Amino acid sequence: MRFRLTLDANYINIVLVTIVLSRHTAAEERLMKTRPALKTAAIASACWLASGMTVANAWTLEEAAKPYAGTTVDVVFLLRPGYEAAEAMLPEFEEKTGIKVNIIKHPYENALGEQVRDFVAGGDLDIALIDLVWIGNFAENNWIEPISTFTENPELADPELDIDDFFPLVLNAFGGWNGEVYGLPFDNYSGLLFYNSCMLEEAGFDAPPETWTELKDTYGPALTKDGKYAFALQSKRNETQSADSFARMLWPFGGSFLDSEFRSNLLSEESQAGLEFRQDLMQYMPEGIVSYDHAEAVNGLAQGDVAMLTEWSAFYSTLKSPDTSRVADCLKIAPEPKGPAGRKPALGGFSMAVASQADDDEKAASWLFIQWITSKANALTYLEKGGVPARQSVYEMDGVAEQFDFVPALVESWQDGVPEFRPRFAEWPEITEIVQEWGTRMMLGEVSTEEGAEEIGTRMEAVLDKAGYYAGDKPLAQ
């Protein structure tokens, strides 16, 4: 495309030169007639100059970064494979640009609090790392800049950015809020069904379950024996309980957190069906599943103690590597099972956005890094190093689906997911703590699913009422 644009620009310059040369006096006309080679040479020289100017003005990262060489930008990274992949790629960016990216590492549980404190205090962070459910909070508090601030600046905008190459669902869910795009998708996940094909074959199955009901009623009894379990559902009392356990069972059964009027929908027949199903499924999970976080659940599958696991695509490299998994040769991946409402996989991950508190040089340098690490050109490298890019084009490359066998399931999951899998408004951090408490109590049998749903609904509506949703002070956007 860039080559074609260069030709088009040259063509325009040729036309302009021709027009200029046509505006000469009669004396100049006689001169040109006697010296036709002069006219030809003039046009040729003008075209050569136009071509040279076009090439000279072509956008490059190195040229764009020159004014910001020596600038340091601060960003929070998590202790996960996608961040290790980006960190491994970082020396190339720093060498090309002279920009230093200072990585501050936190576990997921600390990442929101650390960033909020920094932004409230007017601190040092120049790039915001935004979970799916933080985007409303960050945008409404004006902690982040819309990407249009930079995409409309030709000195900073890479002509090859190709925003349409991101999966639309992922760009909207992770980077968009209320009609504006703030961040570019980074370290993005979809829930997938990882399974030990060897265990399934020994039990007489040649394929994974297609539905949740089939998983529970058919696969569950056949695979749960001799200290082994059919399934693990990570459910620890933190965001894992809210996202990976509670929400995962709502949507496939037709449930949701809220109805169209922003009232609790947790007591609906569909939501209750999903929550009751989770209780029934626990008989085929390891004891103590309520205390399992990602590490424990992934390890259960990796060590051959669990046959199936719904987990984020980001954990593929851990489960596939012989260094960290005993079942690497038996590992296979499928989309999450369907429920009565269809396939509604868990949706998780992040975007990176430029922080509003940064100064102008830091903002520019931050954008150049975000644009570079999420670019089409770097997507394959990021994938090969253990990350999960949100670029459609990388998954269409020859050999990628064969090399990374989670790709077909991932691409299918990103076609039709639920952006509000967890509500993305600013009040979610407060609401998730309510879900975590009462969702855990449901699983432990301390309250029924109806009692727990009523408690969550009452408290959730109180939070939304205080925020002004019912008074019309805030749009019903999630």
Measured distance CA(287)–CA(326) in Å, rounded: 21
Angle at alpha carbon of residue 409, lines to 478 and 199, rounded to 5°: 120
First-to-final CA distance of the chain? 38
Q: Is the pLDDT of residue 50 over 90?
A: no
- Give residue 2's pLDDT band: very low, low, confident or very high (50, 70, 90): very low
Q: What is the mean pLDDT of residues 155-167?
A: 97
Q: What letter does residue 94 receive in the DSSP assignment?
A: H
- Phi and psi torsions of 76, nearest 5°: -90, 130
So what's the pLDDT on residue 371? 98
- Give residue 44's pLDDT band: very low, low, confident or very high (50, 70, 90): very low
pLDDT digits (tens, 9 = 90+) for 425-452: 889 989 999 999 999 999 999 999 999 9
pLDDT digits (tens, 9 = 90+) for 377-403: 999 999 999 899 999 999 999 999 999
Burial 116-145 (b: 16+ CB within 10 A, else e): bebbeeeeebbbbbbbbbbbbbbbeeebbb
Q: Both tokens of residue 130?
A: 């935004």
pLDDT digits (tens, 9 = 90+) for 321-376: 999 999 999 999 999 999 999 988 888 889 999 999 999 999 999 999 999 999 99
Q: At what angle do helices 36-56 and 2-22 cross, to 10 degrees?
A: 140
Q: Which is higher by pLDDT, 418 or 219? A: 219
Q: Which residues lie below 8 Å from residue 101, measured CB to CB, with a gap of 6+? A: 72, 73, 75, 90, 93, 94, 369
Q: Is the pLDDT of residue 317 over 90?
A: no
Q: What letter does residue 172 receive in the DSSP assignment?
A: I
Strand ranges, E, within 107-217: 127-131, 176-177, 180-181, 184-196
So what's the pLDDT on residue 377? 97
Q: With pLDDT > 70 as the criterion, what percentage of the chain qualifies?
A: 88
- Give residue 47's pLDDT band: very low, low, confident or very high (50, 70, 90): very low
So what's the pLDDT on residue 165? 97
